[in-house]
């Protein structure tokens, strides 16, 4: 198996059981007064340990292996946009999920990155304990370094369960973050073109 296949398998896998995580989950369940031997719960520590290993697989992905052979020298200088990339992450403050969509654009400088790699880059950073602001910058910085384009733009729209299930309990609140680098930061026309594409996508969704 190649390095890039191994990196992809980590993000696509079902997770392994780590005994220390399984033991911690068992202790947590018992602390809340549940019977760990009850039929519906007896295998819950194993399932939760496997789940966390899957949801946090991004820590174990080699970034260079992920994009290994997916950079191509192509004379193309118009905007490339990959939008509506679904993501699921865990808030580092409460270990509750936040989820939504990532929209990425870049202006190539003599080379492009394979289409499938951008969603995998998103997954690599989403599959960690995160805050949305940091994840936005990490995705933009990584693509900027890997592809060396004229500019990179990333917009993330997220629904945070820590704000819907607890705390302020606002079910319809969405958080929007953005990172603009290079041309997208310095050139209003390029930035507006990207944002207009997202606006058209939102208008279409309402039809």
Is residue 147 within 8 A of residue 106, CB to CB? The reply is yes
The 10 Å Cβ neighbour count of residue 88 is 12
Does the active-site annotation cover 92? yes
Does the active-site annotation cover 132? yes
Q: Of 75, 80, 62, 63, which Cα lies nearest the Cα of 193?
A: 80
**Which residue of the set 92, 103, 133, 192 is catalytic?**
92
Does the active-site annotation cover 197? no
Distance CA 105, CA 195 (A): 10
**Which residue of the set 34, 162, 193, 197 is catalytic?**
162
Does the active-site annotation cover 160? yes
**Which residue of the set 132, 138, 150, 157 is catalytic?**
132
Distance CA 110, CA 71 (A): 10
Does the active-site annotation cover 93? yes
**Which residue of the set 91, 103, 138, 150 is catalytic?**
91
**Which residue of the set 46, 54, 94, 197 is catalytic?**
94
Distances (CA, A) of 51 to 48, 108, 174, 185: 5, 37, 25, 38
Distance CA 186, CA 126 (A): 28
Can you say whether the dihedral through the CA atoms of 161, 84, 118, 178 is positive or negative? negative
Tokens of 43: 């295998």
3-state secondary structure of 84: strand
**Which residue of the set 27, 30, 86, 93 is catalytic?**
93
Catalytic residue numbers read 91-94, 132, 160, 162
């Amino acid at each position: 198996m190649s390095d890039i296949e191994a990196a992809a398998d980590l993000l696509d896998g079902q997770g392994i059981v780590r005994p220390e995580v399984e033991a911690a989950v068992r202790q947590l369940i018992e602390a809340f007064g549940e019977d760990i031997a009850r039929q519906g719960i007896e295998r819950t520590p194993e399932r939760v340990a496997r789940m966390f290993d899957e949801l946090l697989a991004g820590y174990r992905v080699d970034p260079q292996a992920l994009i290994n052979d997916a950079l191509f020298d192509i004379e193309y200088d118009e905007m490339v946009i990959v939008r509506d990339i679904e993501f699921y992450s865990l808030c580092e403050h409460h270990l509750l999920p936040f989820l939504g969509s990532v929209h990425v654009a870049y202006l190539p400088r003599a080379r492009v990155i394979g289409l499938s790699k951008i969603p995998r880059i998103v997954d690599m950073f989403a599959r960690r304990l995160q805050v949305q602001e940091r994840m936005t910058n990490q995705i933009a910085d990584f693509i900027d370094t890997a592809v060396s384009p004229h500019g990179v733009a990333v917009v993330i729209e997220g629904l945070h369960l820590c704000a819907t299930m607890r705390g302020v309990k606002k079910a319809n609140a969405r958080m929007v973050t953005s990172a603009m680098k290079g041309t997208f930061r310095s050139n209003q026309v390029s930035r507006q073109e990207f944002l207009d594409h997202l606006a058209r996508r939102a208008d279409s969704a309402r039809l």
